[in-house]
Amino acid sequence: MFLIRTILTVVLAAGIGGLLWMDHALKTDVGFMIVVFCAVVLSVQELYDLMRQKGYTPWSAWGTACAGLMVLADWLGYRDIHPELRWVGVAAFVFLCGLFILQGWFRPRPQGVISMALTAFGIVYVWGLAHFIVRLRYLLPEVVGIRGVLLLVAVVKAGDIAAYIVGSRWGRHRPFTQVSSQKSWEGYIGGTVASLAAGVFFGRLLLDNMTWGMALTFAVPVCLFGHLGDLVESVIKRDLDAKDSGIRFPGLGGVLDVVDSLLLAAPVAFYLLEQMVIMGRL
């Protein structure tokens, strides 16, 4: 299982990275948006499935459809297709109206407020954070853009892979047993070292004006929030009595298990690179 998980993680990261780089080479955003759409929709679906197994009643079909609608709204907005409509706002309005109609007329539930809240939480947690990956994709595309997304993926996933390898082999001190019994200080240290190395290497490779210092300034907080993102999903899964969010990837779990660390790291990566652009460093 250790070997399967490690190989599958590397293959997934390389495959997604290759697709994103192909988008850069072909000067298109179609592949990128397909990846984001699938990741968001499948992650939201997995989260609702876990809630239902615990006995909660989110409106899974409606919430999943609206998560995809939010991604589409992002794409339409950045494509400047009728920007005056503010597509994300339109999507949010449709989502909320649908929830009220479901609870008020079509499928009222005894704990309707809880059902509506859980349905909204799935979208806010997954799409609301993944939204920053989309913002990063369109941040000064000729300088940052898709290369910034690749840098984010490289830093976070290098940390994930190294943390798992080191923690599985040499992990002894486990500080968060109440949340996840597998996380260890040794794993975090190994993952942090790998993230910093990936940040320096890929930062200087992908972004022309990025110095060693800028790369470390980017990699340190992104790495830390990547680890935190993994713990956040562990908190959710512990409360829902689940080990994995799904079974789509042998040894890894579901889609949400793969992207969880990226979700919390994405806003940090976006704001750091945005500030570097504003200050004229990139």
**C-alpha distances out from residue 155 to 15, 46, 186, 210, 255, Å:** 16, 25, 18, 15, 19
- Amino acid letter at 244? D
Range of the domain at 183: 1-24+147-282
What tokens does 140 get? Answer: 């000064």
How many folded domains does the chain comprise? 2
* Residue 214 located in a structural domain: yes
Residue 155 and residue 269 share a domain: yes
Residue 35 and residue 19 share a domain: no
Alpha helices of 102-247 — where are they, by DSSP H? 112-137, 145-170, 185-206, 212-239
What is residue 172's predicted lDDT score, i.e. its pLDDT?
Answer: 76
Residue 229 and residue 174 share a domain: yes
What is residue 246's predicted lDDT score, i.e. its pLDDT?
Answer: 80
Q: What is the mean pLDDT of each run of 10 residues along the chain (282 residues)?
A: 66 74 79 91 96 93 95 89 83 92 85 93 96 94 90 94 87 73 85 96 92 95 95 91 79 85 96 94 86
Single pTM value for the model: 0.90
Domain boundary among 83, 110, 137: 137
Residue 110 and residue 156 share a domain: no
What is residue 109's predicted lDDT score, i.e. its pLDDT?
Answer: 82
Domain boundary among 113, 137, 161: 137
Residue 151 and residue 127 share a domain: no
Residue 173 and residue 36 share a domain: no
Residue 155 and residue 130 share a domain: no
